Amino acid sequence: MTTAAGEEAVAEQRKAIEALAASHLPGRWAVKDSFNQLDLGRLGFDVLIEATWIRNTMPAGEAASDIVWTRAAKGPVESPDFALFEGRRGFQLVAGGMLYRADGVVGLTNVVAEAADAVAVWRSLALLAARTFPMTPLVGYESGAELGAALDAGFEAGDPLTVWVRSA
């Protein structure tokens, strides 16, 4: 579940989350509080991740790396709005990331990179997003070292968000 902003939306979402919690869903499930407005601890949720929204509207330059990028022929989703990229050094897979277009933006998720390559990987994925989905802002969220690499690669930090998880 992803949340929306505003007092009215928060009250409606809290009711929906309480109803889901009372339904005894099996296994673990999560709520992404996109606007960092919900305190779900009292409903039995734990914080899974505290992160920061990121955006990159105009990537510039070239990626300075020996990683060669290709778009995977098949990904987990067959759609023109989805792209899975693999980065290889020689024959070894060393990096990757997924792009998906929705609601006027491109989301970047599941970025994989060794620490030494992280900034170049983020920069490369921003350039690949601009080529794959031209004139569309790039967004995502990260925390920790990954957030630092994204910022060093030219992304801008936005507002905080929290992902909450609840076990059955």
Q: How confident is the model at residue 10 (pLDDT cuts 50, 70, 90)?
A: confident
Q: How confident is the model at residue 62 (pLDDT cuts 50, 70, 90)?
A: confident
Report the distance separating Cα 3 and Cα 9, nearest Å: 8
- Check residue 1 and give its pLDDT: 54
Length of the chain: 168
Q: What is the pLDDT of residues 67-113, one digit of tens each?
A: 999 999 776 778 999 999 999 999 999 999 999 999 999 999 999 99
| Residue among 136, 73, 49, 59 at smallest CA distance from 101 | 136
Q: Please list the residue range(s) of the chain that carry CATH number 3.40.630.30.
A: 55-156
Q: What is the pLDDT of residues 38-56, one digit of tens each?
A: 999 999 999 999 999 999 9
Beta bridge partners of 45: none
Q: Are the C-beta atoms of residues 133 and 101 closer than 8 Å to each other?
A: yes
Higher pLDDT among residues 25 and 75, named by residue: 25
The DSSP bridge pattern shows strands 138-142 and 105-113 to be: parallel
What's the angle, vertex CA 4, arms to CA 40 and CA 7, rounded to 5?
75
Q: Are the C-beta atoms of residues 167 and 43 closer than 8 Å to each other?
A: no
Q: Is the domain 55-156 a CATH 3.40.630.30 member?
A: yes
